[in-house]
Structure 1
Amino acid sequence: MSGLRFFHDPASVAVIGASSDPEKIGGRPIRYLQECGFAGAIYPVNPQRSEIQGLVAYPSIDALPVVPEVAIIAVSGANAVAQIVRCAELGVAGCVIMASGFGETGDEQGLAWQAEMLDAAARTGMRIVGPNSQGLANFATGAVLSFSTLFTEQPPEDGAVAVVSQSGALCSVPYGLLREAGIGVRYAHATGNDIDVTAAELAAEVVADPEVKLLLLYLEDIADLDSLAEVARTALDRGVPVVALKGGRSEAGQRAAASHTGALATEEGVVDAFLEKHGIWRARSTRDLVAAAGLYLRPGRPAGEQIAIVSNSGAICVLTADAAAEEGLPVAELTVATKSELTEALPSFASVENPIDVTAALLTDSSLFGRVLPVLGRDGGVHGCVVGIPVAGRGYDVDRFARDVSDFEDSTGVPVVMAVPQSNIARVFREKGLVVFADESEAVRALAQYLRHHTLIARARSRELGRCALDSRLREPRTVLNESESLRLLESIGVPAVEHVLVHDAAEAAEAVEQLGGGPVVIKGCSSEATHKSELGLVRIGVPAGEAEAVVQQMFATLAREGLANEGAIIARMIKGVHEGMLGARFDPVFGPVVVIGAGGIHVEAMPDVQLLLPPFSLDDALAAIGRLRIAAVLGGVRGAPAVDLDAWAAAAVALGDAMLDPAAAIHELDVNPLMLLPRGGEVQPAVRAVDAVVIRSAH
């Protein structure tokens, strides 16, 4: 805790707009500070009161016996602005502004007030959280500078989880769900408008706390990328998983698309790529944000993603396996040795295949879990376990079940999730520290997140996490290259392009075809003013050598008819790929360079199948992205079709990513569709070829 330490452990706190009513916004922070054991001085400020909640009250901040380290601003409008200005003049280190009615309204007056507060703080170096902030809470020090109702409904308990949110509600709800599950929370920060101190900046502070083992984030925009990248680096160094829920869209993300790439590289896709690259799991709901928290807090790290399923119900075994299939979580294939041991442990009529049904014999033989689970723990292919107990109670030794499952998890390090619908039975397992859900789908979903997140973290640790500076490309005028220029640029950066000849006279066509080894060929009208040529009749495929001159003349006539600049005609070698892929890139004004890799063809926007990568990235990163495409299932060769050269495709993506990092390349946006994917080990090497390209780059 360095730059913002005073928000987490201040020597003194002034509450400006303090209330005697502990349920009001100006009263709750005083109540919480006293109840949570804050050791510093508390100074209520209210000109109408001499005593507030048992403390001496002061008429103004100037009347305080000392300059407080932190001030809570619980007054509104122009009064809040005046108090901020005075706090800055006195040398207050930081302010938490709870009042709303500023920049979040879009109102001109609110924005002006916000600017005035920022200006006053900037003159002295005072830091501001808010406005429109629910407040900050550190339950380790008792510095609860917040008015959250949930701290009353779910009493605080210090723990290993930190929650940082740009929304008050999305701080309180995860806090409440965690406390309801018996999980302690150390930090609960709701920052509001983030005009100065950002949620990411606070997150970078709290994740450095050695007692924090899990960080949960809610972000409505990702403007402070440097701080978020610092969060990721610190979290990776410390082994702290970070789970983020992202809502809303920033203005910078709402851009017009000049190409397929522009349409496909959406803000949400780029956010996904940024978080994945940095090892941050993106939750899709509030429930997902907290569901796996108990797993993250267990010791150890999983070695893979394969699971075993054990239940006393065959139906639950089937349903759990179905849930695993829906999540894409592999059910482990048990070794011969494991099956042999299970044969000894299970009743003769039970199956030793995974999922493992211990059968109704559990009612009369309470030792079954204790015998089966250790066998699975010795199988190196089992990285997680789901235990389903749909029915138990009278006649079942539930205490022994809970002890056996807990001992298994402690001794092997294999994470376990329980699916137990009966609340009284579930409580027995929770009391043993086990993670319990009401049904198998929830259990599998949480386990899948936990296992996959650790795979994500392992990949992130192996990456270079430096971020490209937003260079001068954002300010420079842009120009669209014609296709011939675009193909030459691709070749220069290491992306193989189709062999072609640019002709400016129809009489040159025959010689161009001969230069390419004869027909048939592809002929296209070439103009930087036409990025989508097929719709204009500027593309002809399979042109015989003898017809090339006539087709070139037709192309020139079409360019003239459409009023497009005539920059020649491209005569290109015919190439037919096993499949069509695409590559793209653009320079995002928030995230910097973004590379798109995916399935190509005419339907790329209507049925997108793409993955996004943020440079720099490795060949392995590119191959992993290709493996996540829906088209991946056919790339290895099916129904007699040969396998395509995935390494060549990945290498072209890496080359494009490296070029996007180079300001000298000056690429704003680039689109290759289709990229012909050719057979691995075939005649054409490298086995990819760009046959159509659009490049937008700096004009200078």
Structure 2
Amino acid sequence: MSGLGFLHRPTSVAVVGASDDPEKIGGRPLRYMREFGYGGTVVAVNPKRETVQGMPTVPRLADSPVVPDVVLVAVPGQAAVDAVRVAAEMGSRGAIVMSSGFGETGTPEGLRMQDELLGHARAAGMRVVGPNSQGLASFESGAVMGFSTLFTEEPPADGPVGIISQSGALASVPYGILRRRGIGVRYAHGTGNDLDVTAAELAAEAVTDPGLKLLLLYLEGVTDPESLVELGERSRERGVPVVALVGGRSRSGSRAAASHTGALATERRVLDAFLERVGIWQVHGVRELVAASELYLQDWKPQGEGLAVVSNSGAVCVLAADAAEDADLPLASLSEHTVARLDAELPTFAATGNPVDVTAALLTDSGLFGRVLPVLGDDDAVGACLLGIPVAGRGYDVERFARDAAAFAAGGTPLVCAIPQPNVAAPFRAAGLPVFDDEDSAVTALAQYLAHRRRMARAAGLPRPALARPGDRGGDGGSLNEAESLAALAGLGVPVVERELVGSPSEVEAAFGRLGGRPVVVKGSSATATHKSELGLVRLGCATAADAVAAAEAVAASADAHGVGLDGFLVAPMVRGLHEGLVGASLDPVFGPVMLLGAGGTYVEAVPDTQVLLAPCTHDEVREAIARLRMAPLLAGVRGEPAADVDAWADAVVRASEALADPSSPIAGFDANPLLLLEDGVVAVDAVVLTR
């Protein structure tokens, strides 16, 4: 990645297509840079006017008295391409192309012009934002090189939040919401087609700004995962959280029908796993994108894991507890010492458990919140507090409530407020506290903030994901037969069943004997039939040699009936496990090797219970994924049953993930289903392996 700081603080800007009308696309940047304090040189390019908005013009970009750091292009079609060419020839560092009509149209002419534009830039090493860009707005430097109407509707103020979006609208809308809430915004960028500079790359640059505390990101699909990995690393290094809304899907194309993993590791689930791995919090709408912003801007240092609720309403206490359960945010179990201290501070009729109901006594004792909150904050189990005030106003010392709450939050314990009355909420907001209209919204935002902190800390200890190599599609090399698949799986570090491969039914009897005369399964081995059971290519429970030979003959007949060519007959001992699991992998063309684990068996796709991870995985990461499965409670043993060897399962996943993360691996994916979970170890008894 090259440095892109010049796009935020350019020394000079040329506007090609500069307009005298401050409301036109070519006029707004001139107006904005003048009004918002840009201190660099501005060159207006217009061949038809000697001045625009009181500024002298030059007729051509080549006539500029300085080599512009950034050229802002507001002319259409081929004229925009020519402006980029001239900028590149002059030695400009970057161009922002606001013009539309390029690759976003999908037309041959639009695509041709876009390719030509990029060629001019790359030949000179110049970076390009756009085309079809709303522009870049940097309010610290005043370099507002864009045309968003919101900057006139909601006047800007520099602040600790950056917004970077492929969509102009999705840069403007969060900007407007934050400004109406009194939050300053440093960057509001709409990058457009991302022909060269991507939104993710620009975000990775912006997050290094020491004045930034939060970055909001909107992407229309993921085309630059490497920059997102870099963004995650930089955000963790600086402690600047990134909240992302992704409006598209990774372009992974069709999955191999032979792979359960391909069917279950969907594009959305892989994207979720990727963003979790790099420490970015994903939301699913604009409201969620900005909902917790005030929390991220605090200098809190949460210690415990649990939530403490304080209110002057029993109903709010109940509803907040319900909301906490829904948000997977546990209520803190208060220590006996804490309860004793609360008893000493509150009336005898108050509820001193958690939630804490201070009752209507608040009307006569305005110091209750100021005494109760510090007691809760001293409890090691309390990681955050919610203060609910559904009704107050006349007769209540609301100003004192706000001062006491702000003093408590300044000590480092996260505090959110649920206050529906605007006049009551006002002094809390003025004190810099996050205030929500209801306890559900407050708890949801708090749960996100706390979980995001944990995600960032956890991501710091995880390896970089093994992203796809150029041209990787996965599965193009076809599938191996089952004998080859089991051998390949063993090579990946997954334990596999003992087995014999023979060429004809007549050889099955000898194989049965070599396997110890135990009951066996007989399968037809074929690279073209990966789902064998429904084709009659599997026979279970063959107790005698004669049974095994008959089974092989029946398998051969079924293969003939379905036109399946067999490479031989696989004979393996019957193995009984405590549970049937699954481990698999597929190759995503964006995010690289993806691991799947979960409940296995015949109904794996009909009733899925699986987790998705990116390769390579760590043992702890896999154990946490197993713990999230619905089948997880069964693995410890139920009603006297023995526990399954979950560590062996995790070890198999880790070894396979490390092998597939090796760029030289020829394997594009596999299914080991079922993977039998034993008291001591695991064993794969069926396998499909896909090659690159």
Give the alignment's TM-score, normalised by structure 2: 0.96
Give the letter for the 1:183 counterpart: I
Distance 1:648 1:471, change over 3 A: farther
Secondary structure of residue in 2 paired with 1:177 = helix
Q: Aligned partners of 1:136 and 1:471: how far apart in 2?
A: 30
Residue 415 of structure 1 corresponds to which residue in structure 2? 414
Residue 39 of structure 1 corresponds to which residue in structure 2? 39
Residue 693 of structure 1 corresponds to which residue in structure 2? 687
Residue 401 of structure 1 corresponds to which residue in structure 2? 401
Q: Aligned partners of 2:252 and 2:596: how far apart in 1?
A: 19
Residue 290 of structure 1 corresponds to which residue in structure 2? 290
CA deviation map 1:552-575 (0-9, x unaligned): 111122112222122222222223
Secondary structure of residue in 1 paired with 2:571 = strand
Secondary structure of residue in 2 paired with 1:478 = coil
Query: Which stretch has the larger CA shift, 62-71 or 116-125?
Result: 62-71
Distance 1:74 1:593, change over 3 A: same
Q: Aligned partners of 1:660 and 1:471: how far apart in 2?
A: 16
CA deviation map 1:225-273 (0-9, x unaligned): 2222111111111111111111113434454543111111222111111
Residue 89 of structure 1 corresponds to which residue in structure 2? 89
Secondary structure of residue in 1 paired with 2:495 = coil
Q: Aligned partners of 2:616 and 2:303: how far apart in 1?
A: 26
Query: Which stretch has the larger CA shift, 542-551 or 274-283?
Result: 542-551
Distance 1:395 1:28, change over 3 A: same
Residue 104 of structure 1 corresponds to which residue in structure 2? 104
Q: Aligned partners of 1:378 and 1:357: how far apart in 2?
A: 18
Residue 130 of structure 2 corresponds to which residue in structure 1? 130
Q: Aligned partners of 1:257 and 1:355: how far apart in 2?
A: 52
1:481 aligns with 2:492: no
Q: Is the 8 A contact 1:611 1:629 kept in 2?
A: yes
Q: Is the 8 A contact 1:599 1:631 kept in 2?
A: yes
Residue 354 of structure 1 corresponds to which residue in structure 2? 354
Aligned residue runs from structure 1 range 428-447, under 5 A: 428-447=427-446
Distance 1:5 1:648, change over 3 A: same
Q: Is the 8 A contact 1:253 1:267 kept in 2?
A: no
CA deviation map 1:577-618 (0-9, x unaligned): 332221111222211111111222223223332222112221
CA deviation map 1:297-339 (0-9, x unaligned): 1113433532111111111111111111111111111112111
Q: Aligned partners of 1:674 and 1:2: how far apart in 2?
A: 47
Residue 526 of structure 2 corresponds to which residue in structure 1? 527
Q: Is the 8 A contact 2:164 2:199 kept in 1?
A: yes
- 1:469: how far off? 5.9
Q: Aligned partners of 1:663 and 1:70: how far apart in 2?
A: 39
Q: Is the 8 A contact 1:25 1:74 kept in 2?
A: yes
The unaligned stretches of length 5 or more in structure 1 are: none
Q: What is the aligned-residue RMSD (CA, Å)?
A: 1.9
Q: Is the 8 A contact 1:68 1:92 kept in 2?
A: yes
CA deviation map 1:149-207 (0-9, x unaligned): 11111111111111111110111111111112211111111100011111111111111
Distance 1:388 1:515, change over 3 A: farther
Q: Aligned partners of 1:164 and 1:550: how far apart in 2?
A: 67
Aligned residue runs from structure 1 range 109-124, under 5 A: 109-124=109-124
Aligned residue runs from structure 1 range 158-173, under 5 A: 158-173=158-173
Q: Aligned partners of 2:115 and 2:502: how far apart in 1?
A: 59
Query: Which stretch has the larger CA shift, 527-536 or 576-585?
Result: 576-585
- 1:2: how far off? 6.8
Aligned residue runs from structure 1 range 188-227, under 5 A: 188-227=188-227
Distance 1:519 1:40, change over 3 A: same
Distance 1:25 1:474, change over 3 A: same
- 1:550: how far off? 1.0
The unaligned stretches of length 5 or more in structure 2 are: none
Secondary structure of residue in 2 paired with 1:331 = coil
Query: Which stretch has the larger CA shift, 614-623 or 639-648?
Result: 639-648
Distance 1:467 1:530, change over 3 A: closer
Say how many residue pairs are matched.
691
Query: Which stretch has the larger CA shift, 48-57 or 251-260?
Result: 251-260
Aligned residue runs from structure 1 range 1-400, under 5 A: 3-400=3-400
Q: Is the 8 A contact 2:539 2:555 kept in 1?
A: no
- 1:633: how far off? 3.5
- 1:380: how far off? 0.9
Q: Aligned partners of 1:134 and 1:118: how far apart in 2?
A: 18
Q: Aligned partners of 1:636 and 1:158: how far apart in 2?
A: 54
Residue 456 of structure 1 corresponds to which residue in structure 2? 455
- 1:501: how far off? 2.4
Distance 1:637 1:397, change over 3 A: farther
Q: Is the 8 A contact 1:305 1:452 kept in 2?
A: no
Residue 539 of structure 1 corresponds to which residue in structure 2? 538
Residue 621 of structure 2 corresponds to which residue in structure 1? 621
Q: Aligned partners of 1:46 and 1:665: how far apart in 2?
A: 57
Secondary structure of residue in 1 paired with 2:644 = coil
Q: Is the 8 A contact 1:127 1:197 kept in 2?
A: yes
Q: Aligned partners of 1:369 and 1:201: how far apart in 2?
A: 46
Secondary structure of residue in 2 paired with 1:251 = coil
Residue 653 of structure 1 corresponds to which residue in structure 2? 653
Q: Is the 8 A contact 2:474 2:691 kept in 1?
A: no
Q: Is the 8 A contact 2:161 2:213 kept in 1?
A: yes
Q: Aligned partners of 2:363 and 2:475: how far apart in 1?
A: 75
Q: Aligned partners of 1:458 and 1:250: how far apart in 2?
A: 26
- 1:24: how far off? 1.5
Give the letter for the 1:302 counterpart: P
Give the letter for the 2:436 counterpart: F
- 1:474: how far off? 5.0
- 1:408: how far off? 1.1
Give the letter for the 1:677 counterpart: L
